[in-house]
Amino acid sequence: MLTLRSAEALDDYWLRLKLSDGTTIERNVRGLLLGPAFEGLRTDYSLFRRARVRHGTVEWPGDLDLAPETLIWNGPTESGTPPARLVLRHPAAQPRR
C-alpha cells in the first residue's frame, strides 16, 4: 500500500510529498483547505508551512489533517478503489530530467 513518508510546504499552498515507493509529487492544496477548521491555515501562512507527515497523513498543529488518499489520488472513486496517482508539479519547479 502506498503511503506518505514526508511533506514539505512550498510557496502558494503547494506541498511536496514523498511517497513510500520513492516517488515525489507536488500538490496544490489551497482548494482542499475548506471550512472553518482550516481558517487558520488559510490566513496564517506560517502555520501552513508547519505541515508534517504523522501516522501516514499530512497534519498541522491543532489536529488539522488531509487524508492521504485525497493527496495521492484525489480521493477514492465510487467503487472505493483509488484512481491513478496524481503527478503534479509546482509551476515554478524546474522540469525533472
Region 53-60 average pLDDT:
92
Let me know the angle formed at the C-alpha of 54 by 85 and 61, rounded to the nearest 5 degrees: 115
- pLDDT value at residue 50: 96
Strands, E assignment, the chain: 4-9, 14-19, 24-28, 52-54, 57-60, 64-66
Choose the weakest-confidence range: 47-51, 56-60, 67-71: 67-71
What is the spatial distance between Cα 44 and Cα 22, in angstroms, rounded to a whole number?
31
Cα–Cα separations (whole angstroms), residue 60 to 2, 36, 63, 91: 21, 15, 6, 24
* Residue 51 confidence class, pLDDT cut points 50, 70, 90: very high
- What's the average model confidence in pLDDT over 29-44? 92
Are the beta carbons of 11 and 51 closer than 8 angstroms?
no
In the DSSP assignment, the letter for residue 72 is: H
Per-residue pLDDT of 16-31, as tens digits, reads: 999 888 888 888 999 8
* Nearest-angstrom CA–CA distance, 30 and 28: 6
